[in-house]
């Protein structure tokens, strides 16, 4: 792609967005080359709402998210709304951590994933506004006490849907929905009878296989996965809050 004048940064961003499909990534990169580039596509600020917002994703962005959603095992027809999340504070933390990994590992530190995360609506709202918090992670997970992400949307949907159906405090869910309907800012537009999951940018850095009981990445590594056959791997975990950035929220029924 660099032979067509695409920068290395935009090349990596396009390949991530298109799930490694080189032809699809080239078309996307060329389409956005004179519009700021693919890498900047999801980092544009809305002039009307400032640094922190949940803006409706543009058509090109929405299509990328829909492709990831459907390739992950979910029917794209179930998606009713996609919101782009821009939180300057969280992005700055993520960008700084990404630069640290690049300085630490060189090219290997550029390793990123665009991965799903499912949870109940109250948790998603907190993540969008404040970021992930490993202090509240389940230490009994298969990869220890980290924040988990999935390659496949169907895996994250199990957590989002189980949380919605077994809500311990349904009044809290209705309260979040009511706040948005009344025009209060800082909240995503949850569907009253629907589900939601995040599509996150995750700085994986140097990756290795994980195991139960971990509270931090093994020495020399920055993240772990469920198995080291990366072509078949689908679950990842990080142990640093700044290594993940919630980029989109997908609302579906």
Residue 215 has pLDDT above 60, yes or no: yes
The mean predicted confidence, pLDDT, of the chain is 78
Regarding whether 164 and 103 lie in a shared domain, the answer is: yes
Instruction: Please report the pLDDT score of residue 160 as a whole number.
Output: 93
Regarding whether 15 and 128 lie in a shared domain, the answer is: no
Query: Which is higher by pLDDT, 167 or 59?
Result: 59
Quick one: pLDDT band at residue 128, thresholds 50, 70, 90? very high
What is the average pLDDT across 225-239? 77
Instruction: Please report the pLDDT score of residue 27 as a whole number.
Output: 63
CB 244 within 8 A of CB 147: yes
Instruction: Please report the pLDDT score of residue 244 as a whole number.
Output: 96
Give domain status of residue 30, yes or no. Answer: yes
Could you say which DSSP state residue 76 is in? G
Closest CA to 244 of 86, 139, 39, 93: 93
Regarding whether 108 and 3 lie in a shared domain, the answer is: no
Residue 228 has pLDDT above 90, yes or no: no
Instruction: Please report the pLDDT score of residue 95 as a whole number.
Output: 94
Residue 178 has pLDDT above 70, yes or no: no
Regarding whether 107 and 73 lie in a shared domain, the answer is: yes
Regarding whether 99 and 212 lie in a shared domain, the answer is: yes
Burial class of residue 188 in the structure, from the number of CB atoms within 10 Å of its CB (0-12 exposed, 13-18 middle, 19+ buried): buried
Name the domain count of the chain.
2
Domain that holds residue 37: 1-41
Regarding whether 87 and 190 lie in a shared domain, the answer is: yes
**Cα dihedral 54/58/62/65 (nearest 10):** -60
Instruction: Please report the pLDDT score of residue 233 as a whole number.
Output: 62
Query: Which is higher by pLDDT, 124 or 13?
Result: 124
Looking at residue 77, which CATH number applies to its domain? 3.90.228.10
Place of tokens 């990404």: 98
What is the average pLDDT across 110-138? 91
- State if pTM tops 0.75: no
Asked which of 110-119, 169-178, 184-193 is least confident by mean pLDDT, the reply is 169-178
Query: Which is higher by pLDDT, 59 or 118?
Result: 118
How many angstroms separate the CA atoms of 221 and 213, rounded? 16
Regarding whether 76 and 25 lie in a shared domain, the answer is: no
pLDDT tens column, 61-118 = 778 888 899 999 899 889 888 888 889 999 999 999 999 999 999 888 889 999 999 9
């Amino acid at each position: 792609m660099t032979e067509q004048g695409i920068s290395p940064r935009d090349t990596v961003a396009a390949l991530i967005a298109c799930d490694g499909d080189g032809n699809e990534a080239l078309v996307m990169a060329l389409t956005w080359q004179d519009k700021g580039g693919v890498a900047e596509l999801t980092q544009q600020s809305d002039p009307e709402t400032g640094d922190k917002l949940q803006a409706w994703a543009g058509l090109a962005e929405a299509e990328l998210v829909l492709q990831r959603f459907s390739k992950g095992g979910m029917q794209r027809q179930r998606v009713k709304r996609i919101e782009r999340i821009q939180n300057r504070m969280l992005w700055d933390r993520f960008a700084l951590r990404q630069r640290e990994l690049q300085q630490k590992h060189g090219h290997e530190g550029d390793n990123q994933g665009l991965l799903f995360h499912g949870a109940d609506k109250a948790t998603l709202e907190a993540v969008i506004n404040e970021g992930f918090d490993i202090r509240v992670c389940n230490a009994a997970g298969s990869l220890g006490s980290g924040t988990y992400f999935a390659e496949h949307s169907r895996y994250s949907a199990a957590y989002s849907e189980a949380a919605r159906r077994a809500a311990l405090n349904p009044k809290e869910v209705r309260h979040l929905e009511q706040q948005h309907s009344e025009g209060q800012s800082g909240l995503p537009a949850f569907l009253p009878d629907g589900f939601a999951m995040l599509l996150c940018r995750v700085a994986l850095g140097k990756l290795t296989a994980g195991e139960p009981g971990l509270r931090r990445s093994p020495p020399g590594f920055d993240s772990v996965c469920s198995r080291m056959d990366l072509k078949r791997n689908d679950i990842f975990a990080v142990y640093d809050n700044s290594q993940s950035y919630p980029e989109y929220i997908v609302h579906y029924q």
